[in-house]
Amino acid sequence: MEVDKGKGEAEETRKVAEADRDTVTLKSSDGKLFEVSKEAAARLSTVLAGMIAGGSIDDNGTDLKQIGSEALENVVDYCNKHANSIPSAALISSSISFNTAPFKEPEEWERKFVDRLSHDALFDLVEAANFLGMERLLDVTCHKISEMMKGKSPDQIREVFNIKNDYTKEELEEIRQELAWAFYDD
């Protein structure tokens, strides 16, 4: 009995210790493990917040099969940088108020964070942010992609993003005429 009781207590202690841990471990599709602050994960990702609240976080690494290691590393990096960049008073605000805040221009560190990414890394990060319900990271990454379109002609946009032009010449001309108010006539 005493042994059982001891085991029970040990189990209880382990559970309490897990609940008290201030980080969560995430596992990428290719099996790499990353640790992230539980507070930042819950505040920045609605999906992770739900998993933490629902107790479905695996101590040995929560499987995120849709996210590769490079994208997950960037997600974790973003969470850590975000946690460091916010004054402690702001942490008191709930995740709901954060997620419903109106869009703000990316801050300087957020610009630098996305500027260093390659096309593929940026695109993977958009998909990861969308999958994890990270509204702010989604805003920042989408803003970066929209900046890549700025000042470019439709032809240049197609070239940069490898988009097929599915208009016929006639359709294109018709739309151009419809939108003539926005452009000088050639």
Partner 1 sequence: MGRHSRRASPLDVDDLLAEILLCLPTLPTSLPCASLVCARWRRLVTDPIFLRRFRACHWEPVGVFHTIFQSGREHLSFSFISDPPPGSILHDRFSVPARCQDAGGGDDVYTWNVRGCRHGRVLLINMPCYDRKVHQFLVWNPLACE
Number of residues located near partner 1, criterion CB under 8 A: 41
Select 58 or 147, whichever has its Cβ closest to partner 1.
147
What is the per-residue binding string for partner 1 in 112-141, x denoting contact by CB under 8 A? -------xx--x--xx--x-------xx--
Binding of partner 1 by 181 (CB under 8 A): yes
Compute, in degrees rounded to 10, the torsion defined by CA atoms 12, 17, 20, 23.
-140
What region does 102 belong to: left with phi over 0, alpha with psi -120 to 50, or beta?
beta
In angstroms, give the least distance from the CB of 117 to partner 1: 13
**3 state DSSP class of 166:** coil
* H runs (alpha helix) in 55-163: 69-85, 95-99, 108-115, 119-131, 135-147, 154-161
Considering only residues 153, 169, 170, 177, which one is a binding residue for partner 1 as defined by CB under 8 A? 153
Binding of partner 1 by 167 (CB under 8 A): yes
Select 16 or 175, whichever has its Cβ closest to partner 1.
175
Select 57 or 64, whichever has its Cβ closest to partner 1.
64
Binding of partner 1 by 173 (CB under 8 A): no
Select 17 or 148, whichever has its Cβ closest to partner 1.
148
Q: Rounded to an integer, what distance in angstroms lies between the CA atom of residue 58 and that of residue 66? A: 16
Contact partners, residue 181, CB within 8 Å, separation at least 6: none
Rounded to 5 degrees, φ, ψ at 153 are: -80, 165
Residues near partner 1 (CB under 8 A): 103, 119-120, 123, 126-127, 130, 138-139, 142-143, 145-154, 157-167, 171-172, 175-176, 179, 181-184
